[in-house]
Amino acid sequence: MPGSEDERSAANIYASLSSYVMTASLGVIAAQAALATFVLDKRDHLTGFYACMVLGLIASVVSIVLGGKGVAGIASAGFKGTWTLKPKHDYFNLQALFCLLGMILLLLSLFSGTPKPENPGPAEMKRLNDSVVKLQADLDNLRTQYAKLSADMKSSSCPKQGHK
């Protein structure tokens, strides 16, 4: 039969694992914030994005709360002198599932929305306008050259190519 110190060590491991899952949930929340700044700037039609983000945030917070309840259950039993790895409810399993759900929703939010069309800035618009003006001038020059060459060909008495 395991001793009280062994049970206490095992309970401590469970609490540590729960702490790691809480850290992962906080990481998901931080990733959501970073992703939101990118998506809000680069995408349109964000209803699915908002839904995934809110549900993912809720799942991550629920995961943290469940981990806290699990640790509190172990600590309460330990305070009474009976260390247990199985509190009344299976909070740790639910904690892991909600953390995983938060991660899945974060990944789903990556693919929601449609890309925004690129709007060029003033400098880009000026560069594009200058390019169009230059191309128009080149086109006018080529038309003038073509007209001149065409007139020279008509006035020239050169024999046509390909006839004997």
The pLDDT value given to residue 124: 86
Tell me if the pTM is above 0.85.
no
Other Cβ atoms closer than 10 A to 22: 20
Which of 42, 25, 37 is closest to 105 using CA atoms?
A: 25
d(CA 30, CA 96): 18
Q: With beta carbons less than 8 A apart as the criterion, state whether 69 and 17 touch.
A: no
- Asked whether the predicted pLDDT for residue 155 surpasses 60, the reply is yes
- Asked whether the predicted pLDDT for residue 134 surpasses 80, the reply is yes
- Asked whether the predicted pLDDT for residue 2 surpasses 60, the reply is no
